[in-house]
C-alpha cells in the first residue's frame, strides 16, 4: 500500500521561466498550464499519472499570479480536495518542498512525499509507477530518493547524478551530483553508464527531509514554519505569511540538502521522460508525418520537411522550407530554425527591454470568473470578448477613465448599474457610464458570452477600483 502525499510544483521556474516556448508560453501562462501533447495540460497530465498510486489529496505549490489557473485546471480534472499553497515570491525548490513537508506532516506525521514538477512529460506511466514503488521501499528506510532519468543521448542541458553502490532492487546510493557538462564530458557519461539525468523529482519521508534540511539550513526551516504559522485560508488557497517567507533563504534541494546528506539515493527512471524545454524538444516527442513534420492546428504544407508547425487560430501554410519551427498565436508569430530555438529567450528579453506586453500574457486572459479576449484596440477604444462561467461574478467596481458598453451574445447577464439591478438577455445591451459603480454576474446554467466595448482616455487594467470581490482581489 502506497501511503504518500504527492506534492506538485506548479510554479514557473525549474530549468527556466518557459521563455524558450514563447510565444505559446508567457509569464502569466507558462508551459505547465499548456496542452502541448494531447488535450490535457502538463499540470493535468502530472496529476493524471498518479491515478494508479494510492495517495492522499495532492498538495500544490504555486505562484500567486497563477492561483486561478491552478484552481481552474484542478476543477476541470474533478479534483476538489487539493490544497494549494501560494508563495508570495519564489525561493527555489528547497523551501517549497519544506512547506509541503510541514503541511503533509500536519495531516500524517509519517507521510511520504512524492515531489513532482508540473511541467514534465512521461510517456511510459507504468514504468514511472514501477520506479515510484521501488523508491518507496528506500524512502520508508529513511532515504531521500531522487529519480535519475536513464540518458538516451549526450545531453549538455541537464545536470547529472552519478550512482554509487547498489541499494534494494533498483536503487543506488548517490555518489555525486554534477553540473551541466560540456559535450565531451556528456559523451563520457553516456558511455560510462553510471550517470543519470537529474529529473528534479523525489520521494522521501516528510520528517526525514525536514531533519536533514534543519541540519544544513536551519534558517530555512524556521522561516517556513513561521510562514505556515501565519498563513491564512482564502477560497481554495493557503496564503503564506509574506513577511516570514520573504526572510527565507533561497536554494535548491540539491544544493541545500542532497549534496551534503549521507542519505541520498537514486532510482533509475526509464519512462520516456522529457521536460520539453524547447520547441525542438517538442518536435522530438511529437507524432510526425513521412516528411518529418509535426503539426498542430490548421496547417497546409507543400514541399516541406522536418518542421514543427503549431497553429492556434488561423491557417498556416509553408512552401519549400525545412528544419523550421513556426508557432502562431493570436498576437504573435515565431519563425525560427530548429538549430536556434534555444535562443528564443533572446526575443523575450528584447520584448521586455522595449516595454512590450507580448512576453507577459496572451490575448486571452484567464480570471477566476472566466476569460476575456482583447479582440481589438485603438485610440480611446478597446473591444473584448468576455466569457463568464455559470454562477460566477465579476467584482463590484468602477473606472475613473472609461465607460463600457456590453452586448450579450449568449446566455443571460445580471447587471448591477449604480443603484439598479436587471437582467440583460441575448441580443440586448447595456451601458455603464464613466465613474458608475457596477458589476456583472452570470445567474444561468450556461456560459455567458458578451462583447464589451470600452471607450475613454485610459484603458489599462489598473483603472479598476474594487469595492467587493468574492475572489479576494484588491
pLDDT score for 363: 85
Domain(s) of CATH 3.90.550.10: residues in the chain: 4-274
Q: Is 301 exposed, middle or buried (0-12, 13-18, 19+ CB in 10 A)?
A: middle
- What is the pLDDT of the chain when averaged over all its residues? 92
Per residue in 279-323, pLDDT (tens digit) is 999 999 999 999 999 999 999 999 999 999 999 999 999 999 999
| Predicted local confidence at residue 2, as pLDDT | 42
Rounded to 5 degrees, what are φ and ψ at 465?
A: -105, 110
Stretch 6-17: mean pLDDT: 56
Q: Give per-residue pLDDT as tens, 105-155.
A: 998 999 999 999 999 999 999 999 999 999 999 999 999 999 999 999 999
SS3 390: coil
CB 112 within 8 A of CB 139: yes
CA dihedral 198, 12, 343, 36 (to 10 degrees): 90
Nearest of 121, 53, 50 to residue 79 by alpha carbon: 50
Exposure of 361 in the CB half-sphere (CA atoms within 13 A): 14
Residue 9 above 90 pLDDT?
no
- pLDDT score, position 13: 46
Closest CA to 56 of 1, 134, 118: 1
Instruction: Show the DSSP H helices in 145-278 as ranges.
Output: 183-192, 206-216, 218-229, 242-246, 253
Q: How large is the average pLDDT for residues 198-213?
A: 96
Q: Using a pLDDT cut of 90, give the percent of the chain over it.
A: 82
User: Are 272 and 14 contacting, i.e. CB atoms less than 8 angstroms apart?
Assistant: no
Domain 364-468 CATH superfamily: Jelly Rolls (2.60.120.10)
Contact 227, 68 (CB under 8 A): no
| Other residues' Cβ atoms within 10 Å of the Cβ of residue 14 | 19
Give the rounded distance of the alpha carbon of 226 from its chain centre: 26
* CB of 95 closer than 8 Å to CB of 227: no
Burial 169-193 (b: 16+ CB within 10 A, else e): ebbbbbeebeeebeeebbeebeeee
The full length of the chain comes to 474
CA 117 to CA 199: how far, in whole Å? Answer: 9
Question: What would the pLDDT profile of 346-373 be if each residue is shown by its tens digit?
Answer: 999 999 999 998 998 888 888 889 999 9
CB 317 within 8 A of CB 300: yes
Say if CB 204 and CB 112 are below 8 A apart: yes
Residue with C-alpha cell 520547441? 279
Looking at the predicted structure, is the pLDDT value of residue 16 above 60?
no
For 383-422, write each residue's pLDDT tens digit.
Answer: 999 999 999 999 999 999 999 999 999 999 999 999 999 9
User: What is the spatial distance between Cα 430 and Cα 320, in angstroms, rounded to a whole number?
Assistant: 51
Intervals of CATH 2.60.120.10 along the chain: 364-468
CATH of 4-274, one of 3.90.550.10, 3.40.50.300, 3.20.20.70, 3.40.720.10: 3.90.550.10
Question: Which residues make beta-bridge pairs with 13?
Answer: none
Instruction: Encode pLDDT of 416-454 as tens digits.
Output: 999 999 999 999 999 999 999 999 999 999 999 999 999
Bridge partners (DSSP) of residue 406 are 430, 452
Give DSSP secondary structure letters for 111-139.
Answer: -EEEEEETT-EES-HHHHHHHHHHHHHHH
Task: Examine the pLDDT at 178 and tell me if it is beyond 90.
Answer: yes
Residue 168's pLDDT band, with cuts at 50, 70 and 90, is confident
Residue 4 reports pLDDT greater than 80: no
- Cell numbers placing 379: 485610440
Nearest to 89 by CA among 248, 217, 200: 248
Q: Is the pTM above the cut of 0.85?
A: yes
CA distance 183 to 239: 44
Is residue 353 within a helix (H) or strand (E), and if so which, with residue range?
Answer: helix 344-353
What pLDDT was estimated at residue 466?
94
Report, as an integer, the average pLDDT of 197-214: 96
Amino acid at each position: 500500500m502506497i501511503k504518500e502525499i504527492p506534492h506538485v510544483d506548479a510554479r514557473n521556474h525549474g530549468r527556466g521561466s518557459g521563455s524558450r516556448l514563447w510565444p505559446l508560453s508567457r509569464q502569466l501562462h507558462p508551459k505547465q498550464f499548456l496542452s502541448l501533447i494531447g488535450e490535457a495540460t502538463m499540470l493535468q497530465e502530472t496529476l493524471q499519472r498518479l491515478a494508479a498510486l494510492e495517495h492522499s489529496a495532492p498538495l500544490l505549490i504555486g505562484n500567486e499570479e497563477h492561483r486561478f489557473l491552478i484552481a481552474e485546471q484542478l476543477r476541470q480534472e474533478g479534483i476538489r480536495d487539493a490544497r494549494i499553497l501560494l508563495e508570495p515570491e519564489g525561493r527555489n525548490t528547497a523551501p517549497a518542498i519544506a512547506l509541503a513537508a510541514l503541511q503533509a506532516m500536519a495531516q500524517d506525521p509519517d507521510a511520504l512525499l512524492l515531489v513532482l514538477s508540473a511541467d514534465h512529460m512521461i510517456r511510459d506511466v507504468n514504468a514511472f509507477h514501477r520506479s515510484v514503488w521501488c523508491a518507496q521501499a528506500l524512502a520508508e528506510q529513511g532515504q531521500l530518493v531522487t529519480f535519475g532519468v536513464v540518458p538516451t543521448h549526450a545531453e549538455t542541458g541537464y545536470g547529472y547524478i552519478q550512482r554509487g553502490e547498489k541499494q534494494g532492487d533498483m536503487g543506488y546510493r548517490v555518489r555525486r551530483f554534477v553540473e551541466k557538462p560540456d559535450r565531451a564530458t556528456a559523451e563520457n557519461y553516456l558511455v560510462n553508464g553510471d550517470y543519470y539525468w537529474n529529473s528534479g523529482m523525489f520521494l522521501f519521508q516528510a520528517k526525514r527531509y525536514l531533519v536533514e534540511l534543519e541540519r544544513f539550513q536551519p534558517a530555512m526551516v524556521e522561516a517556513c514554519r513561521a510562514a505556515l504559522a501565519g498563513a491564512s485560508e482564502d477560497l481554495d488557497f493557503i496564503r503564506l505569511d509574506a513577511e516570514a517567507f520573504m526572510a527565507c533563504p533561497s536554494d535548491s534541494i540539491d544544493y541545500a540538502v542532497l549534496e551534503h546528506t549521507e542519505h541520498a539515493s537514486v532510482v533509475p527512471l526509464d519512462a520516456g521522460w522529457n521536460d520539453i524545454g524547447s520547441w525542438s524538444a517538442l518536435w522530438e516527442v511529437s507524432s510526425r508525418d513521412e516528411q518529418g513534420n509535426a503539426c498542430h492546428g490548421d496547417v497546409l504544407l507543400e514541399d516541406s520537411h522536418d518542421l514543427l508547425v503549431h497553429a492556434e487560430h488561423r491557417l498556416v501554410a509553408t512552401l519549400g522550407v525545412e528544419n523550421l519551427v513556426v508557432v502562431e498565436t493570436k498576437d504573435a508569430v515565431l519563425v525560427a530554425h530548429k538549430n536556434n530555438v534555444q535562443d528564443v529567450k533572446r526575443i523575450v528579453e528584447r520584448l521586455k527591454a522595449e516595454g512590450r506586453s507580448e512576453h507577459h500574457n496572451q490575448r486571452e486572459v484567464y480570471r477566476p470568473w472566466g476569460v476575456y479576449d482583447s479582440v481589438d484596440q485603438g485610440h480611446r477604444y478597446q473591444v473584448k470578448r468576455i466569457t463568464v462561467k455559470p454562477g460566477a461574478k465579476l467584482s463590484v467596481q468602477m473606472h475613473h477613465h472609461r465607460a463600457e458598453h456590453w452586448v450579450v451574445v449568449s446566455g443571460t447577464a445580471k447587471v448591477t448599474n449604480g443603484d439598479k439591478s436587471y437582467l440583460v438577455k441575448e441580443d440586448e445591451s447595456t451601458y455603464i457610464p464613466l465613474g458608475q459603480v457596477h458589476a456583472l454576474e452570470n445567474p444561468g446554467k450556461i456560459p455567458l458570452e458578451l462583447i464589451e466595448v470600452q471607450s475613454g482616455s485610459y484603458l489599462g487594467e489598473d483603472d479598476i477600483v474594487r469595492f467587493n470581490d468574492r475572489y479576494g482581489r484588491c
